[in-house]
Amino acid sequence: KNQVEQSPQSLIILEGKNCTLQCNYTVSPFSNLRWYKQDTGRGPVSLTIMTFSENTKSNGRYTATLDADTKQSSLHITASQLSDSASYICVVRIPGAGNMLTFGGGTRLMVKP
Amino acid sequence: DAGVIQSPRHEVTEMGQEVTLRCKPISGHNSLFWYRQTMMRGLELLIYFNNNVPIDDSGMPEDRFSAKMPNASFSTLKIQPSEPRDSAVYFCASSLRDPSYNEQFFGPGTRLTVL
Please, which pLDDT band fits residue B99 given cuts at 50, 70 and 90? Answer: very low
Q: Of the candidates B45, B101, B108, which has its C-beta nearest A43's C-beta?
A: B108
Pairing of the two strands B110-114 and B10-13: parallel
Map chain A to HEC letters.
CCCEEEECCEEEEECCCCEEEEEEECCCCCCEEEEEEECCCCCCEEEEEEECCCCEEEECCEEEEEECCCCEEEEEECCCCHHHCEEEEEEEECCCCCCCEEECCCEEEEEEC
Q: Is B49 on the interface with A (CB under 8 A)?
A: no
Cβ contacts of residue B63 below 8 Å, gap of 6+? Answer: none
Query: Which residues of chain B have a CB within 8 Å of the CB of A89?
Result: 42-43
Q: For B54-87, what is each residue's pLDDT tens digit?
A: 988 888 988 999 999 999 999 999 999 999 999 9
- Nearest-CA residue of chain A relative to B93? A43
User: Å from A10 to nearest chain B CA?
Assistant: 13
Please, which pLDDT band fits residue A94 given cuts at 50, 70 and 90? Answer: confident
Q: For B11-61, what is each residue's pLDDT tens digit?
A: 999 999 999 999 999 999 989 999 999 988 889 999 989 899 998 888 898
Question: Across the interface, do A103 and B31 touch by the CB < 8 Å criterion?
Answer: no
Query: What span, in angstroms and rounded, lies between the C-alpha atoms of B48 and B103?
Result: 14
- Nearest-CA residue of chain B relative to A30? B100
